[in-house]
Amino acid sequence: MHSPRPHDLLWGLRPKQLPEEAPAWACAALGEHVPVVVRRAPAEPGWVAVGIRGAAREQRHAAWMRLSEISRLVSPQTVARAGRWRNHAQPHWPALRALSQLAPRLDDLGLSWGVTGSLGFELASGISAAHPGSDLDLLLRAPQPVSRVEAQTLCVLLDEAPGRVDLQLETPHGAVALREWAGEAPRVLLKTQNGPLLVSDPWQLQQVAA
C-alpha cells in the first residue's frame, strides 16, 4: 500500500477517534464505515489529513487519521481500473456516459488517470453520492511536465464528452486544473499541501510568484 495521496479513500477511522466537538453526522457516517478522503493539508508525522463526507452536500468535516489505523486504501486509479461504472444502475447520467466514452481514450494514451469527486466516491465505496447533475471529476498523474499544447489537446477530448468534465493534473508539487494550464494566463493556481500558490510552471516549484 502506497502512502496516502490526495483523493485516495481510506477506511479505518472510527467515531471514537474524532474529537468531542466533531459534528454528530460525521460520527454517524464513520459508524456506518464510510471511507474518508485524503485532503491537502499539513499533518504531523504518522498522521494524514482527511475529510469526512456526510449525506448532504454541505456536510464536509476536516479531520486527521493515524496512518496505523488505515485498514484499506483505494486510489482514484484503482477506481478507474475496476470499471464498475459499466454496471451502474444509471448509465444514462452524463457523468457516466462521459466516463464510458473517455476511459478507452485515456487508456489508449497510456495515461495514469483516475476518478475522484462524488462519482469516484460512489464507485469505490458503493455508497450513493452522485446524482444526475454530477460532474465527472478526473485526476491525471503527471510526474513529468505536460505542455500547454498537450493540455489543450486533452481539453478538446474532454469537451467531446457529455456533461461537464473537470480534470486535475497532479504534479510532484500539487494539483493544477487542466483547463487553467491549457489557457493563456502566465501564472496558474497550484494546490499544494501548504495552500494555493500562483506559479508559472507547476512542475518547477521554485518559480512561485512573489
pLDDT digits (tens, 9 = 90+) for 140-166: 999 999 999 999 999 999 999 999 999
**What would the grid cell of residue 205 be?**
516549484
Run of H or E including 159: helix 148-159
**CA separation (Å) from 44 to 12, 65, 128, 175, 202?**
18, 10, 32, 21, 25
Average pLDDT of every residue of the chain? 94
Residue 33's pLDDT is 86
- Report the predicted TM-score, pTM, of the whole model to 2 decimal places: 0.93
C-alpha span between 28 and 70 (Å, rounded): 19
Active-site residue, selected from the candidate residues 8, 135, 159, 201: 135
Mark whether 135 is an active-site residue. yes
In this prediction, residues 13-42 reach a mean pLDDT of 93
| pLDDT tops 70 at residue 47 | yes
**What would the grid cell of residue 19 be?**
474529537
CB atoms within 10 A of CB 155: 17
**What would the grid cell of residue 111 be?**
495515461
| pLDDT tops 60 at residue 207 | no
Closest CA to 199 of 166, 173, 164, 160: 173
> Can you tell me which residue has the cell 497550484?
190
First-last CA distance in the chain: 37
Active-site residue, selected from the candidate residues 8, 137, 159, 201: 137
Three-class DSSP category at 125: helix
Residue 209's pLDDT is 44
C-alpha span between 131 and 122 (Å, rounded): 10
Mark whether 201 is an active-site residue. no
Give pLDDT tens digits for 78-115. 999 999 999 999 999 999 999 999 999 999 999 999 99
Residue 32's pLDDT is 86
Give pLDDT tens digits for 156-193. 999 999 999 999 999 999 999 999 999 999 999 999 99
In this prediction, residues 64-70 reach a mean pLDDT of 96
**What are the sequence ranges of the domains in the chain?**
9-74, 76-207
C-alpha span between 31 and 188 (Å, rounded): 40
